[in-house]
A and B are shown apart, each in its own frame.
Chain A
Amino acid sequence: MPFITSAIAEKNQYDVIVVGSGAGGGQMAYALTMEGARVLMLEAGRKYDPVTETPMFQTPEQAPLREAGTSDKRFGFFDATVDGGWEVPGEPYVQTRADAAGRFDWWRARMLGGRTNHWARIALRNGPYDFKPYSRDGLGFDWPISYEEMAPYYDKVELLIGVYGTNDGLENTPDSSPGCLLPPPKPLVSDLLIAQRARKLGVPVIAGHRAVLTQQLNWKTSPARLHPGNPTAQKLIAADMQRRAACFWATPCGRGCSIRANYQSPTVHLPPALASGQLDILTDAMVHEVTLGKDGRARGVRFVDKRTAKQRDVTARAVVLAASACESVRILLNSKSAQFPNGLANSSGKLGKYLMDTVGSSLVGQIPLLESLPPHNEDGAGGGHMYSPWWLYKEQLTGKLGFARGYHIEFGGGRGMPSLGTAAGLEWLTGGSYGAKFKEDARRYYGSFVGFSGRGQMIPNEDSYCETDPVVQDQWGIPVLRFHWKWSAHETRQAAHMQKTFAEIIEAMGGRVRGHVETDGAKAIAPGGRIIHEVGGAIMGADPKKSVTNKWCQTWDVKNLFLADGAPFPSNADKNPTLTIMANAWRVADRILERMRRKEL
């Protein structure tokens, strides 16, 4: 009976409560249940099944407004996200500034699996520098762990979820252990042209790393590497690996995947965890408080059962928050008591501090060489086949660039399924054609555009944080978050550098930049929260006065309370955070299991 009601959850005995069902919560629940722990997972959104709900082959004319994004479905009608967005019904938040440079937009996905349902599947490892940024350049904070401590968990996550890519031996761009990566898909013609021209400029171009099965997982040898000495877990995961199909080179990953060829928590982490019999899942459960026992330990959590609008309590030996960085912080800030008047686990006063997103900036070019190409299928793996890792580490360290941290480049082009925008905005190329000429122009320019998106590291600062608002509450009366945000020159200069680099690559391809190259970094940078990579707010560290958790993401103040999402990240590398959230969650799960075995929890 894996999906249960709150009445049953209240009566049951659990080892661990996991709040959240996305990358962190999914990985945590998987790792704990496969090793025998009894887990209750609470999810604020509804039950969601990608196998039966994904609009795989639907075409735009079958959707309202040809699939256009609206305030109800921000990333288009067929995007996997339901009940989510930068605005969520009944769940406001407060921004202290409204302008693009000072606001933070908070994306939430209230559904089983959260954001893992629609993410881009880009799965990059943090490198050694990314764990020790302060030691390298004196800015931000070091992690209390090293790359070497995380590396085995990156291996395990890659083996479990399936990530394609190559080992290229580049600086701060780690190789995986043998057998961990799946072969990358063949590049598109636009990838090959970008690679050829960018390399002349010194920009490396290598295979992308994405959580998509380019072939079936290795169910014969991987299970033993994932769960050594645990034949039950090996059998469960071997069976589930065989049920996941390889990519069939069609349909966008952002809709989700009914054949389970890409990673999303409800198709990869949760099925084997449920099959273990150790996992109960309660959806529509809006957790807002960690409850404390008289011994100063967490008793469990309190939540609003959205189906009845009633408050409920559940208990366990340990509590793990993986509700997403800001939501986990919100739960802790709202867990006030005489002992913790400023919120739970906040004796350092650092709860909510050092919120980070990713630096983002984009530019599009039109490439005459790619015009009117012979028709061929370029759907591919439903996302980037190649990318450019950061390449100017040495120049940066000597201070030549004027900003301290790097970015990677995600790019793409090709003859994907025509959308509303495919033949829109062509005036700058056509001089305003109509009639037969317009139809010729549409054919000529289709597939001739390439887009570049920079994804860069933000350094944590004192002015980017969240706290609870003293007035505003959500529809259940739970105090909401209030965000403060500020970019430093390290980020805005980096965004300007992205624009310059993209323009150089476009020119090197013989192309033309669409729009203009934004040299003012403050205008080139996307507002906070728009890249949806927010991490921090409850950072881990070596000093209880300066951090919220220790290296095991165990709060300094409450010994049986852990964090397993992006909240404990002391830095936000240019690498997209999801893979690191999963690797870290597994690492924390192993620690919890070890302490439980020693009866310390």
Chain B
Amino acid sequence: MDRRTTIKWMLAASASVTSLKEPAWGAGPPAPLTTAYVPTTKGYGTDPKLLQVYRSGGLWPLTFTPEQRRTATALSDFIIPADATSPSASQAGIVDFLDEWISAPYETQRQDRKTVLDGFKWLVDESMKRFGKCFASLNEAQQRAICDDICYVPEAKLQFEKAAKFFARYRDLTAGGFYTTPAGRKDLQYVGNTPLPSFEGPPIEVLKRVGLA
């Protein structure tokens, strides 16, 4: 797949999340001996309309219950809160994106559906166990107490290992959703996708910073 802007895809496919943009090789189950296209029920097909604007819920039915939406909102905003530069994840519509994602009929998303819904259940149970309230009703210190146990897979205790993997995936999906919105692009100060009369390369102050001028 060269072709292609391989480098862009490679950069996009993070080390721990192999399936966000491009299927990884080497890992996973061996391919079947007869390689046949299996139509994904209710997918958008191999020749979708590319110029149409798609909305969450427009292609396949969504999943989140009101309670799951509350958990999703609280956890997404815990990961990406509003600050002086940009809104919070939920303000940028990321809960709708997450619902679209875990409701999609494709293989990666079906796996994420289980990861996310099991993770929500764990989070609510753990919140009740520790503080007698669901996660969305906890104050920030209480949320922090739980998330500190699961926010970093390499250091998570054995009993939190599965929850930590859920948190890592959920953070990747939340960030993936957020930084692909206008608000997220503005936050990162992305300034492209606009026609230019000429391409001038890096400004002198950039070269100076890197020691190339």
Contact residues of A with B, CB < 8 Å?
A: 46, 53-55, 57-79, 82-96, 98-100, 103, 105-107, 115, 118-120, 122, 185-189, 192-193, 196, 247-254, 358, 360, 362, 364, 369-370, 373-384, 410-413, 415-428, 431-436, 438-439, 442-443, 446, 449, 451, 453, 455, 472, 514-515, 523, 526-527, 530-533, 576
Contacts and interface: CB of A to CB of B under 8 A. Distances in A.
B11 A421 contact: yes
B51 A53 contact: yes
Contact of B202 (A53, A105, A188, A436): A188
B187 to A, nearest CB: 7
B155 interface: yes
B43 A100 contact: no
B54 A92 contact: no
Contacts of B26: 100, 523
18 contacts: A72-B46, A72-B48, A73-B48, A79-B4, A90-B37, A95-B33, A98-B31, A99-B30, A115-B3, A120-B4, A122-B2, A358-B2, A374-B209, A427-B152, A432-B153, A439-B80, A439-B85, A533-B2
Interface of B: 1-17, 20-23, 25-26, 30-40, 43-48, 50-51, 53-54, 59, 78-81, 83, 85-86, 97, 100-101, 104, 106-109, 147, 151-155, 168, 171-173, 175-182, 184-185, 187-203, 205-207, 209-212
B192 A250 contact: yes
Nearest to A107: B1
A58 B175 CA distance: 20
Contact of B176 (A362, A377, A424): A424
A225 B13 CA distance: 44
Given A65-B100, A421-B176, A120 B5 contact: yes
B40 A72 contact: yes
A438 B168 CA distance: 12
A252 B207 contact: no
B180 A66 contact: yes
Given A72-B43, A196-B212, 4 more contacts: A89-B46, A193-B210, A412-B11, A415-B192
Given A75-B1, A188-B202, A252-B5, A96 B46 contact: no
A96 B32 CA distance: 10
A376 B209 CA distance: 13
Contact of B3 (A119, A379, A382): A119
Contact of B194 (A63, A89, A250, A576): A250
Contact of B37 (A82, A89, A416, A527): A89
Contacts of A420: 12, 20-21, 176-177, 180
A76 B13 CA distance: 12
B47 A373 contact: no
A106 B197 CA distance: 40
A500 B84 CA distance: 43
Contacts of A68: 20-21, 108
Contacts of B34: 92-95, 472
B191 A376 contact: yes
Given A92-B37, A98-B30, A418-B180, A379 B193 contact: yes
A380 B199 CA distance: 6
A189 B185 contact: no
Contacts of A119: 2-4
Nearest first, the 7 A-B pairs at minimum CB distance are A425-B14, A432-B152, A186-B201, A421-B12, A412-B7, A98-B30, A92-B36
A436 B168 contact: no
Given A94-B33, A432-B151, A436-B81, A451 B11 contact: yes
A61 B94 CA distance: 10
A434 B79 contact: yes
A332 B168 CA distance: 51
A82 B45 CA distance: 9
A370 B1 CA distance: 27
Contacts of B207: 189, 192
